[in-house]
Amino acid sequence: MILLLRKGRTVAISNDPQKVYAELGRQAEARAELREIIEFHRAVLEIQLQVFAPTPAIEFGADQVRASVEAGIPLLSPEVIVVPNDAFAALYNAICSLVATYRPELADEVKALRKTSANEQQVARKGWLLSANGQNGAVSDLERFMLVNTWRPFLWPYAITLAPLIEDEQWYRGQCPVCGGEPDLAALVDEGQRWLLCSRCDTEWRYRRIGCPFCNNTDHRKLVYYTGESPVYRLYVCETCRRYLKAVDQREHWQRRPLPVERILTIGMDVAAVEAGYT
Ligand SMILES: [Zn+2]
Ligand SMILES: [Zn+2]
């Protein structure tokens, strides 16, 4: 239904959530060391799927899309998106409960965050802003996780509709052309083209091969990457803005998993990057 993975000349959303869910199930079986973390994320996805409505409430004309993209403006803004407040708050609280179940040591922190959802619109707006600019130091990692994951299923239908309308050579920016979110994973494909995965709506879009999508730094002396045990994965860090980006090399890889699955399989790299002082 949704797969348009890098064929043709449009950006894409490769994350048919049902396929991601199934693949996470296979990975949980195959990787004992990651089973617990995968099962947690699979449980989050399960409740996200319950609110996922594949038909977006708005329609964009091709002209409107072209004009926005040419001007470098992401297509979505909070004014355009229709998110039912009660559904948003219900999902937010359901994710709170899951976190408290899987990570009992975070229960108190979760409890405090749950209270903040009393003002549903404010929480939703906060989540939108922090995902779009990434620089929100006032928000803990836990709150960020919950806000991003609450927004995600509400953005999927827009991404599925809009991403195929954008030509991949038109954008080349560090933020998502659909929702303006930041990338949290990169993939090298084919002859080395680099695609980025939106941390928020799971759109994939093409970006320059070299350069930091967060600060646009292209000085190769300030860009470093590390490889781990598997040569397929790399951790790129930017010494200019101190941000990091995980990457998966899918050029030779016989099995290309959906990038939202790779996002979860590489959580160890997030831990390593944060411990090394990158955000
Ligand atoms: Zn996005
Ligand atoms: Zn940078």
Q: What is the pLDDT of residues 236-257, one digit of tens each?
A: 999 999 999 999 999 886 668 9
124-163 per-position pLDDT tens digit: 666 666 655 545 556 788 888 988 999 899 899 888 888 8
Interval between CA 195 and ligand 2 midpoint (Å): 17
Instruction: Tell me whether residue 5 is in a domain.
Output: no
Instruction: Tell me whether residue 1 is in a domain.
Output: no
**pTM for the model:** 0.89
Radius of gyration of the chain (CA): 18
Interval between CA 218 and ligand 2 midpoint (Å): 9
Mean pLDDT of the chain: 85
Interval between CA 196 and ligand 1 midpoint (Å): 10
CATH of the domain at 21: 3.90.1670.10
Contact 43, 25 (CB under 8 A): no
Least confident of 10-14, 27-31, 99-103, 176-180: 10-14
Interval between CA 136 and ligand 2 midpoint (Å): 16
Instruction: Tell me whether residue 86 is in a domain.
Output: yes
Instruction: Tell me whether residue 107 is in a domain.
Output: yes
Instruction: Tell me whether residue 80 is in a domain.
Output: yes
Q: What is the pLDDT of residue 6?
A: 38
Q: What's the total number of domains in the chain?
A: 1
Instruction: Tell me whether residue 6 is in a domain.
Output: no
Kindly tell me if the per-residue pLDDT of 79 is higher than 80: no
Interval between CA 237 and ligand 2 midpoint (Å): 8
Buried b (16+ CB within 10 A) or exposed e, 7-30: eeebbbbbbbbebbbebbeebbee
The whole-number average pLDDT for the span 118-129 is 63
* CA atoms of 78 and 121, how far apart (whole Å): 11
The ligand whose atoms approach the alpha carbon of 212 most closely is 2
How many other CB atoms are found less than 10 A from the CB of residue 142? 16
Instruction: Tell me whether residue 217 is in a domain.
Output: yes
The ligand whose atoms approach the alpha carbon of 241 most closely is 2
The ligand whose atoms approach the alpha carbon of 152 most closely is 1
Instruction: Tell me whether residue 146 is in a domain.
Output: yes
Interval between CA 198 and ligand 2 midpoint (Å): 17
19-48 per-position pLDDT tens digit: 999 999 999 999 999 999 999 999 999 999
Domain range for residue 68? 12-275
